[in-house]
Each structure stands twice: as C-alpha cells, then as structure tokens.
C-alpha cells in the first residue's frame, strides 16, 4: 500500500500528519524531511539570542509522537524529483517512494543578498535551526552588528543583538520599515520604538558590498561605510516550488492550488504552508502567506480532507512579531485597503490600526494589545461585517462584547 507521502518536515508537514492521525486515518503515512532535526517551530529562532546551542527547545513534539502514531519520519532524506505519472517521489539517495496522495510542504528559502562579499564569513541569513545556532555563536562576541533588511526577521534580530549589548544598525532599501506588511502609521511608530531602544535605522539605503579579509569587517552602503563583525540579512523569501515546477504542475511564485489546497494540475497532490499559492475569501486574487497560522491551518485542512472530511480553506490569516518589548499582531489581510484609523490604547505602549476596504474593516494591527487582537480575530472571522461607522469611539474589544 502506497499511502500518504509528505515532502517537508516543517510546521505545515507536521500539521498534516498529526491531523491525519487525529482524524482516524490508519493508512501508511511517510514524511520525507531534508533537515536532520525533528520538525520544529521557527519563530523562536529570531526572537532570542541562541548563544547556548544545547539550550534550544524548538521541536514541535518529541520523537515518540511519530512512533506512537505509526508515522514514518525520514529525517535527512531530501526529495529530488516527483514522478507524477507513476505516483512516486524520488529521493536524493535514489529511493522511490510511491504515494496515493502527495503533500508538498517544502516551505520557503531566503532570497540571497545580491552584492559582492555576501559569502564572506560572518555574513548570515536566518531560516533554519542550524542558522540560528551559527548566529547565536557569533552574537556572543559581536560588537557591531549590521542587519540588512527591515522586515520582521531583521527587526526581531536587531532587538536580539541590541539586548546582548551590540551596536546595531538596520539598513533598509525601501523608504520605510516593513513596507509591504504593515500600515505606514504603525511603521513610523515601530521605527521610533527601535530608535529609542538604541538601534540605528537607515531607510532608503542600499547595500553595495560587504568587505573583509577572511572575515566581515565593513558594510558599504550608498551613504556610508558601516563597521561590522556580524552581518545578518533578511530580505524576503521565495517558495520552494521547484519540485512541482519540474514535474509540470502549475506554479507561479508557489504551487497553485484550489480552495481545497489541491494542485490545480493534479488532484492527487496538495500543497500547504509557505510553498502554496491559494485562493482566499479575504483576498481578491491568489495569495501565498508565510505564517505559522497559515501553515498549521492548511496542514490540518489537508490532513482532514485525506481522512474523509473535505472543506474549503477559509481560515482568517493572523500573524505576530516580537521586536524587543514590542509585540506586533496582525489579523486579516491588509492588501487593497484604502483607509487606516489609528486608535490609541489605554496605555502609551498600546496602539491599534484598523484598515478598511470600501468602508469595511478587513485588517487590524495592534502593538502590545493582545486583547484587541483577539477581539479583531473574533469579529473578522464572523460573516457579519464591521463598518467604519460601527467604530466611532469604540474599540473592537468593546464591539465584540456588545455583539
């Protein structure tokens, strides 16, 4: 019996197999994972200095979880190709693994930094546990840290480096931090918080080269030369969709799937998590999301579908980022919004920004205000819309209690 084969042992792959067994599916289940670690969560990697490699606890579940559920977890086994005609995957070691249903959960890879010197020792990107260990080791001795990219991972790492006493400069090409993901109003607020915490921020600044003899010493930008003994860059990620593309499946910055998360080319293949591009009721076109919520909920949906309970993917997107003392949370999708209302909380650290599309609330960002974030999720999950006019003088927390 061939059974279910999952490629990728990350957040989404783990969620597929735990939902499969949770829903009573008792056929063979195999996970092929190229990393050698048990499936783990990535968010803690950028939120703490991992200076003690033995102290990192990020595994999603202990190894016994898979053994007890008869899930074959093959670590360090990379899939090199798909043979969709024969319904099998081929691993790098040449083994063929047949499938009845295949789930692609291959995640994303960091975009490479396209400047000379990006390969000098002391220049790191962060995606894997091994990357976090290498950065943690370097942080132990780094005096000057340059973070290239003012996105979520870059800003989290900037705070981590500052907390261990380094002088930190963030270099961002765009005119603002987090320019794609966060409203301009909150971006400015976040920038001030980082600067008050001693992190130097250079926006509208391009990195031209990284220099050093044997080890990084300088980052050359179009404005100034920065001293650096550690450089960390986070300039976005690209989906690992090459297996699907080479097998002739529809791919466009992610494996294109339908609302059940099945490949639109081959119904015996699903894609979940960072590598999937999917329709969503909160978006005009197809979206690809990089978040724990998306990976977990999509994995669960596909596991349950294979076990016999299909449903369309409709989960409300939500996300968080911890940047030092600031907890940023986002509910909903901010694309195509045309109005932002900033609402102060009951203390100076708290702030919310409500984003509207044609007068209807579609996304809520909060700083250090978890109760308002949860109220936003409750309200946005419901089919009854919240309009701009519902929110005069009312927080979402008050509105959620009233409704």
- Contact set with ligand FAD (CB under 6 A): 7-13, 32-35, 42-43, 45-46, 78-79, 105-107, 126-127, 153, 240, 243, 273-275, 290-293, 295, 319-321
Q: Which is nearer to ligand FAD, 218 or 373 (CB)?
A: 373
* Cβ at position 319, least distance to ligand FAD in Å: 5
Q: How near is the Cβ of 216 to ligand FAD at its closest, in Å?
A: 20
Q: Rg of the chain over CA atoms, in angstroms?
A: 22
Smallest separation (angstroms) from ligand FAD to the CB of 278: 12
CB of 322 to ligand FAD, least distance (A): 7
Mind giving me the DSSP string for 227-296? E-SEEEE---EEE--HHHHHTT--BSSSEEB-TTSBBSS-TTEEE-GGGEEEE-TTSSSEE---SHHHHH
Tokens of 315: 């989960």
Q: How far is the CB of 402 from ligand FAD (least distance, A)?
A: 30
Q: Is 200 helix (H, G, I), strand (E, B) or coil?
A: strand
Of 10 and 122, CB closest to ligand FAD:
10
> Closest approach of Cβ 127 to ligand FAD, in Å?
5
Instruction: Give the residue with the Cβ less far from ligand FAD, 9 or 122.
Output: 9
**What is the DSSP secondary-structure string of 16-84?**
HHHHHHHTT--S-EEEEESSSSPSB-SGGGGTS----GGG---BSS-HHHHHHTTEEEEET--EEEEET
CA atoms of 227 and 141, how far apart (whole Å): 15
Residue 257 CB, nearest distance to ligand FAD (Å)?
13
On whether the CB atoms of residues 223 and 201 are closer than 8 A, the answer is no
Least separation in angstroms between CB 317 and ligand FAD: 9
Beta strand pairing call for 230-233 and 123-125? parallel
Pick 328 or 361: Cβ nearer ligand FAD: 328
Contact 301, 276 (CB under 8 A): no
Q: Give dist(CA 18, CA 60) in Å, integer.
A: 11
CA–CA gap between residue 151 and residue 287 (Å, rounded)? 19
The candidate with the shortest Cα–Cα distance to 110, out of 42, 170, 47, is: 42
The closest residue (CB) to ligand FAD is 10
Q: Are 70 and 29 in contact (CB under 8 A)?
A: yes
Smallest CA-to-CA distance from 361 within 333, 334, 388, 401 is with 388
Which residue lies nearer to ligand FAD by CB, 321 or 395?
Answer: 321
Instruction: Give the residue with the Cβ less far from ligand FAD, 98 or 212.
Output: 98
Nearest one of 62, 89, 60, 63 to 77, comparing CA atoms: 89
Closest CB to ligand FAD among residues 7, 120: 7
Contact (Cβ atoms closer than 8 angstroms) between residue 313 and residue 260: yes
| Residue 227 beta carbon to ligand FAD: minimum distance, rounded to whole angstroms | 25
Least separation, in Å, of the C-beta of 388 and ligand FAD? 28
Cα distances (Å, whole numbers) of residue 309 to 105, 227, 367 = 20, 57, 37
Q: Report the Cα–Cα distance between both ends of the chain, in Å, rounded.
A: 51
Q: Which is nearer to ligand FAD, 3 or 212 (CB)?
A: 3
């Amino acid at each position: 019996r061939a059974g279910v084969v999952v490629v990728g042992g990350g957040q989404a792959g783990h969620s597929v197999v735990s939902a499969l067994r949770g829903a009573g599916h008792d056929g063979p289940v195999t996970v092929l994972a190229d990393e050698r670690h048990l499936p783990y969560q990535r968010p803690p990697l950028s939120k703490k200095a991992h200076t003690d490699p033995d102290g990192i606890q990020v595994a999603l579940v202990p190894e016994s979880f898979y053994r007890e559920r008869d899930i074959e977890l093959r670590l360090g086994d990379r899939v090199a190709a798909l043979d969709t005609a024969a319904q099998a995957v081929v691993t790098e070691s040449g083994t063929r693994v047949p499938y009845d249903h295949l789930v692609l959960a291959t995640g994303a890879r960091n975009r490479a930094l396209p400047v000379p010197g990006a390969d000098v020792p002391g220049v790191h990107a962060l995606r894997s546990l091994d990357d976090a260990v290498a950065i943690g080791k370097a942080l132990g001795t780094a005096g000057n840290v340059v973070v290239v990219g003012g996105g979520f991972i870059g800003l989290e790492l900037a705070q981590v480096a500052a907390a261990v006493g380094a002088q930190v400069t963030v270099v961002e090409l765009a005119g603002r931090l987090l320019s794609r993901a966060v409203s301009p109003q909150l971006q400015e607020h976040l920038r001030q918080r980082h600067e008050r915490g001693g992190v130097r921020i250079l926006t509208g600044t391009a990195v031209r080269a990284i220099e050093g003899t044997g080890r990084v010493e300088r980052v050359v930008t179009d404005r100034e030369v920065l001293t650096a003994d550690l450089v960390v860059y986070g300039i976005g990620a690209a989906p690992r969709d090459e297996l699907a593309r080479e097998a002739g499946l529809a791919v466009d910055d992610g494996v294109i799937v339908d609302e059940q998360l099945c490949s639109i080319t081959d119904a015996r293949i699903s894609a979940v998590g960072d590598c999937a591009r999917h329709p969503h009721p909160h978006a005009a076109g197809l979206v690809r999301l990089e978040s724990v919520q998306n990976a977990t909920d999509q994995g669960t949906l596909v596991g349950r579908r294979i076990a016999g309970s299909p449903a369309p993917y409709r989960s409300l997107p939500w996300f968080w980022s911890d940047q030092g003392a600031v907890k940023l949370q986002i509910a909903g999708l901010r694309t195509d919004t045309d109005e932002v209302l900033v609402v102060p909380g009951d203390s100076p650290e708290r702030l919310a920004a409500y984003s509207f599309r044609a007068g209807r609330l579609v996304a809520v960002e909060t700083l250090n205000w978890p109760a308002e974030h949860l109220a936003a999720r409750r309200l946005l999950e419901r089919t009854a819309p919240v309009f701009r006019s519902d929110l005069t003088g009312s927080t979402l927390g008050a509105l959620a209690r009233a409704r």
